[in-house]
Structures are given as C-alpha cells and as structure tokens.
Amino acid sequence: MKTIFTVVIATAYSLLYTLSASAQGCVAVRHMSCTAPAGANSADFFKQRSGHWQVSAGYRFFRSYKHFVGDAEQKQRVEQGTNVINVSHALDLGITYLVNQRLSFSVNLPIQYNDRSSLYEHYGNAIAQNPNQKRFHTGSQGIGDLRISGSYWLVNPVKLPKANLAMGLGVKLPTGNYQATDQFHKLDKEGRDYTVELPVDQSIQLGDGGVGVSVELQGYAQVSKTLTAYANGFYLFNPRETNGVLRNPTSTTIDPITGYFSVADQFAARLGLSQSLPFMPGLAIMLGGRIEGVPAHDAIGGSKGFRRPGYIVSVEPGLAYMKGRFSAALTVPVAVYRNRIKSYSDLQDPTGQRHGDAAFADYLVSLNVAKWF
C-alpha cells in the first residue's frame, strides 16, 4: 500500500523538470516544464528522498500537418498537398537536487531534432510556380534553451501528505541556436534549381534568443484512498521583443513588424485525476485536460516580430509507474480544439481581414523516466 500511496508524488518529481509542454505544431512553443502528479500520498516519499539527487530523461514526438485559421481547419491544404509538415523529436535531460522535504532545484536541457517539409518556402504552392508540386525539407538539430529552476511546497508534505501546493520560479537561458539555417530550393528564370541558405522557420528554431523567467504552480489533493486530483500552471515571460534574426535576409525591404523573429511568451495548464491501481502496486492511470500556447501579446515588453500565436486544448490520458527509486510516465495528449488566434501583426490591419494560419498536430507523445540516487 505504501507504493500505491507514494506513486503520485514520486511521479510528480519525475515529471517536474522534464515533462515539456511542446505545442503541437507551428505555434512555436519551446520545451518547458509543466508537471502532472500521479499518485496520492507524499509523506513516505519525502522521508525517503530528502537530500537526494534525481536524473531524468523525457522523449517527445509530434507531427503537425493540419492548418487552422482561427479555429477553422483549412482542410483543402491537406487535400491539395500544400500543407506544411513538421516532425519533431526531443530528448529532455534533467537533474534535480532535493534539498529537503519542501525545496528542490533543477536543471533541464532539451536536445532536439526537427524536420519541416513544404512547398511554399521553396518553389511555391501555385501550379504555375511549382508545376510538379515538389516538396522539399529543411531541419534543425542540437541543444535547446537551458532552464534552471527551483520549486517549494507551501506545506511540509510530511505533516500534510494528502494535499499540497508548490510554487516554482525559473530562468530560461538562450543556449539553443535561434539562428539555425538550411538550404532552400528555388528556380531561376530558366527553370533551373538552385539553393540558398536562409534561416529555418521559427517553429523549428532550437531556441528563441531571449532570457526568460518562468513561474509555475502545481498542486494535488487526495480525493479518496487511491484517487488524486492534480493541477498545474506554467507561464514563461520573455521580455525581449525580437531576437534580431531576419526571416528573409535576401529581401530588399524589411517589414517593420514581422521582419524579425519575435521572442514570445508561452503558457500551459493541466487539470486531471490520477487513479492508483491496488491490484498493480506502483501503477496509476491518469486522465485530464491540457491547454498550451503562445499569446498574441507579451505580458512584459513589446510584441512586434513574427509569431504564430494560438493555443491547443487536449484530452490527456496517461500512465505512471514507480518501483523503488525508479519512476516512469507516458502521456498522450490528443487535441480536441485548436485555434490560431490573430497575431500582433494581424491586428494592425485596419480592415480586420488579415488572419494568418498555423499547422497543428493531432496528438503529442511524451515518455519520461527518472532515477533517484
């Protein structure tokens, strides 16, 4: 029974600094922490783990290909083959030090591999420009933005194990390459192919180029002997307005609003239930809701620059397991609502007609493992 009770908080720490809320598509949300506790009682766990280290690894995958303007899906893009396809793999490496039952510090570094294929960035979408409708690929690989953070439980978990709330504060450093480039295919006047090196799309840049500050809340409450409710919220403040990367350095003119990449804020929140399984000690099933995205306007600083703001609402089932000092969790949030809201640039249109699009995925796969020492 002790294992059943402690699986929630054990998995919470397994996920606290490794489970990223990667937006499912061209809404450029960088890897960031947003946890989901998965058990019911924390006292025994904290008694055993105080002063210990944890190493963790989290794998993420998504494939975005469905375009939205607002919440309206542009189904013709897939039917015509002019849609953009982003495939993202990421491995998040983390290390956490638990100072005592209430305070912990953590460092998290993502390693990413991104592939993007499209028509419009190369020959073009139109038949006249691209008669064979050729699709070409660009990509980026390397480390992402490093995050250093701390978390503090407001109540001593040993004294009040059935419910608690933790507050977190972190700093995001621009260690990821926010100027990644690749070869783009073009046609000359004679119809011959040539390539030019340009910055890859914002959605597959490895970093955003800004120093950010993140705030986070996570809490849980034991509903019954084996059922626990959990909630998490995360917001990343990115005060820098643009990162100085020209979207199209070959152009003779620079758009005063969208000519450079924006350094955008990000947010995520989760709410759900976790059910421990008495007949399978250490295992819990989770079901919750999740929202994540990029706002059109930053909370601090300017909002100019190119960004695709929007958000995704998902249903998030999952499994969590703990045995001894090892824990693992698998979640697969499935999108039920996607909305590419108007950007700062869109809102400058006096006619109110301009509204950019973004591609989203149907689901995200997230697998996390952790070991205490």
Residue 3 to residues 96, 101, 111, 276, 277: CA-CA distances in angstroms?
22, 18, 32, 10, 10
Q: Is the pLDDT of residue 300 over 60?
A: yes
Distance between CA 265 and CA 322 in Å, rounded?
34
Residue 11: domain span: 2-372
Q: What is the domain-level CATH number for residue 264?
A: 2.40.128.130
- What mean pLDDT is predicted for residues 166-182? 98
Quote the strand ranges of the chain, DSSP E: 53-69, 72-73, 85-98, 103-118, 136-143, 146-153, 163-173, 181-187, 193-199, 212-222, 227-237, 242-246, 260-262, 266-276, 283-294, 310-323, 326-331, 334-339, 358-372
Mean of the per-residue pLDDT values of the chain: 89
Question: pLDDT by residue (tens digit) across 202-247?
Answer: 999 999 999 999 999 999 999 999 999 999 999 999 999 999 999 9
Q: Is the pLDDT of residue 360 over 50?
A: yes
Q: Is the pLDDT of residue 12 over 80?
A: no
Nearest to 32 by CA among 285, 267, 241, 315: 267
Give Cα 8 distance to the centre of its chain: 22
For residue 44, what pLDDT is reported?
A: 42
Element (H, E) at 78: helix 75-80
Q: Is the pLDDT of residue 11 over 80?
A: no
Which residue reads 């409708």 in tokens?
A: 133
pLDDT tier for residue 175 given thresholds of 50, 70 and 90 = very high
Q: Is the pLDDT of residue 260 over 80?
A: yes
What tokens appear for 37 in the block? 């506790």
* Beta bridge partners of residue 163, listed in sequence order: 221
For residue 25, what pLDDT is reported?
A: 58
pLDDT tier for residue 24 given thresholds of 50, 70 and 90 = low
Q: Which residues of 77-94 are buried (b: 16+ CB within 10 A; e: fewer)?
A: beeeebbbbbbbebbbbb
- What mean pLDDT is predicted for residues 131-136? 96
Q: Is the pLDDT of residue 137 over 60?
A: yes
Question: pLDDT by residue (tens digit) across 36-66?
Answer: 343 334 444 454 454 589 999 999 999 999 9
Distance between CA 60 and CA 38 in Å, rounded?
19
Higher pLDDT, 67 or 3: 67
- What mean pLDDT is predicted for residues 12-40? 46
pLDDT tier for residue 160 given thresholds of 50, 70 and 90 = confident
Q: Is the pLDDT of residue 347 over 90?
A: yes
Sign of the Cα torsion 339, 343, 347, 349 reads negative
For residue 169, what pLDDT is reported?
A: 98
Higher pLDDT, 138 or 42: 138
For residue 27, what pLDDT is reported?
A: 60
* Phi, psi angle pair for 18, to nearest 5°: -120, -20
- What mean pLDDT is predicted for residues 328-355? 97
Number of domains present in the structure of the chain: 1
- What mean pLDDT is predicted for residues 169-189? 97
Least confident span in 12-26, 240-254, 272-286: 12-26
Question: pLDDT by residue (tens digit) across 87-120?
Answer: 999 999 999 999 988 999 999 999 999 999 999 9
Residue 5, helix vs strand vs coil: helix
Q: Is the pLDDT of residue 6 over 90?
A: no
